[in-house]
Structure 1
Amino acid sequence: MNILIRPKKILGVLLIIILFLEIANSIGLVFYFNDNTINWLFNLFNIRTEGNIPAYYSSTTILFASFLLGFISLFRKINGLSYSLWLILSIIFFYLSIDEAVQLHERVGVIIDNNFNLKGYLSWGWVIPYGVLFIIFATVYYFRFLPQLSKKIFWLFIISGAIYVFGAIGVEMLGAKNYHSDDFSEVTHAICYSIEEGLEMIGIALFIYTLLLYIKEEIIITVKKIA
């Protein structure tokens, strides 16, 4: 049986979709700031809000990454290989897909904001628990998981993760600083969240490419050898 996987082609398609979404978001913002009668375009493609095309795209791609991780963990389990860290990753990405769809982190942020008087870069409080969990998660995976991978997959994991986290937490903190400053600019705010969401989508696209490459180079080759 011939199993054909083209990671580069899939990555290219995802990047084209991301570019289209960013352009549509930018056009919607231009109309929003200059002519409020075309709010439907802003609502349909605004990258920051939920329940629209960019939100569905992001949630779906993260869910796809979760599925790929689950597939890898299942294959490794069947073949007597360690699989628990792959499975944990799959569960985490499943949660992130739900979070992306309904903005769970925003609700966590509201709870923290209501109980603590946070300012500046931490004024959106959800970055604190998520940031701490990420540091713990990254430390464990860096020493226990990543060394098991080939050098190419290792670096792709690092790069895709860094892009995603820099967008999700790093640029988010910059946006929080601007949002709560005395010289708040709605245009700057829009630029910040457009960059933030764009980096998140690129990070996930590259991560999907990495997982497909792993499946192509590690799993399919193994299946062919067994056959």
Structure 2
Amino acid sequence: MSVKLNPKSIFLTFLFIIVLLVIANLVGVYARFYLHFPHIKSFIRLVDVDTEMNIPTLYSSFAMFVASSLLALVGYMHRVRKESSFPWFGLAFIFIFLSIDESSEFHEMLVGPVRETLHTSGVFYFAWVIPYGILAIVLGIAYFRFLLNLPRNMLGLYVLSGVVFLSGSLGLELLGGVIAQKSGTDSFIYAMSYTCEETLEMLGIALLIYTTSRYIVQVFPGTKLEFVESK
């Protein structure tokens, strides 16, 4: 069996799932603050985008795995052509790490130690943004030339996906730190903040998947994913 990549269909599928997840989360936020039904907390935990080990977390981890797999596929195809492939495999590694991080809460484990060591507050209330932010800057510098060598239409899409993702994962996380410290993590305004944050993260990954799929179609025309039964 072979499957031909259709970037538009792939993106629309992920976008549809994101819309459903955001709507479910908003219903959960409304129920949390305005309804008092028995067992409502179980539903809220299941759909809350700020809670780990639930449906949104499973989706985000899966989406990052898909992004990593596509990036690795690009690296492999460039290697077959005897072209530069290391940057693509590097990106694949980054997103498989983020996929694991999403489900294991590794970045959350850094909050306490970093906060206590650096005595952070305000925008750095969620102190994990400091090491991850530094890492993002280093990677941005390291990949600057790589990005400039991409086809112009791909360059814009990759930059857009990165900006959208980082605006949520780091940008709104900084704002969320201020809100959390002033109003608490149980406040309605904080719930709206993390909803916007997680939505941008999911959109950024969906754009990355779309862009990488489109890159494969453009640079490696006729590419199909084939599944062959082993003998």
TM-score normalised by length of structure 1:
0.93
- Which whole-Å CA distance do the structure 2 matches of 1:220 and 1:3 have between them? 13
Gaps of 5+ in 1: none
- Which whole-Å CA distance do the structure 1 matches of 2:221 and 2:135 have between them? 33
Q: Deviations over 1:90-137 (max 9, x none)?
A: 001010001111221111122212322111101111111111110110
Q: Do the aligned residues in 2 keep the contact of 1:3 with 1:220 (CA within 8 Å)?
A: no
Q: Do the aligned residues in 1 keep the contact of 2:216 with 2:223 (CA within 8 Å)?
A: no
Query: Identity over the aligned pairs, expressed in percent?
Result: 35
Q: 1:127 aligns with which of 122, 126, 129?
A: 129
Q: 2:78 aligns with which of 73, 76, 79?
A: 76
195 and 222 in structure 1: CA distance in 2 versus 1, 3 angstrom threshold: closer
- Which whole-Å CA distance do the structure 2 matches of 1:50 and 1:171 have between them? 18
Q: Amino acid of the residue matched to residue 193 of structure 1?
A: Y
Q: Displacement, 1:3?
A: 5.8
**Equivalence for 2:67:** 65
- Which whole-Å CA distance do the structure 2 matches of 1:180 and 1:116 have between them? 16
Q: Aligned runs of 1:77-226 on 2, under 5 Å?
A: 77-143=79-145, 145-181=146-182, 183-184=183-184, 186-221=187-222
**Equivalence for 2:33:** 33
Q: Deviations over 1:171-203 (max 9, x none)?
A: 00000001112x447101100111000000000
- Partner SS for 2:220: helix
**Equivalence for 1:11:** 11
- Partner SS for 2:127: coil
Q: Do the aligned residues in 1 keep the contact of 2:70 with 2:212 (CA within 8 Å)?
A: yes
Q: Displacement, 1:36?
A: 5.7
- Which whole-Å CA distance do the structure 1 matches of 2:42 and 2:2 have between them? 46
- Which whole-Å CA distance do the structure 2 matches of 1:133 and 1:218 have between them? 29
- Which whole-Å CA distance do the structure 1 matches of 2:198 and 2:80 have between them? 37
Q: Amino acid of the residue matched to residue 16 of structure 2?
A: I
Q: Do the aligned residues in 1 keep the contact of 2:4 with 2:223 (CA within 8 Å)?
A: no
Name the count of aligned residue pairs: 221
- Which whole-Å CA distance do the structure 2 matches of 1:158 and 1:187 have between them? 32
Of 67-76 and 197-206, more deviation after overlay is shown by 67-76
174 and 2 in structure 1: CA distance in 2 versus 1, 3 angstrom threshold: same
Q: Do the aligned residues in 2 keep the contact of 1:11 with 1:209 (CA within 8 Å)?
A: yes
- Partner SS for 2:144: helix
**Equivalence for 2:51:** 49
- Partner SS for 1:180: helix
Q: Amino acid of the residue matched to residue 86 of structure 2?
A: S
- Which whole-Å CA distance do the structure 1 matches of 2:2 and 2:108 have between them? 45
- Which whole-Å CA distance do the structure 2 matches of 1:70 and 1:4 have between them? 17
- Which whole-Å CA distance do the structure 2 matches of 1:31 and 1:135 have between them? 39
RMSD: 1.7
Q: Displacement, 1:39?
A: 1.0
22 and 116 in structure 1: CA distance in 2 versus 1, 3 angstrom threshold: same
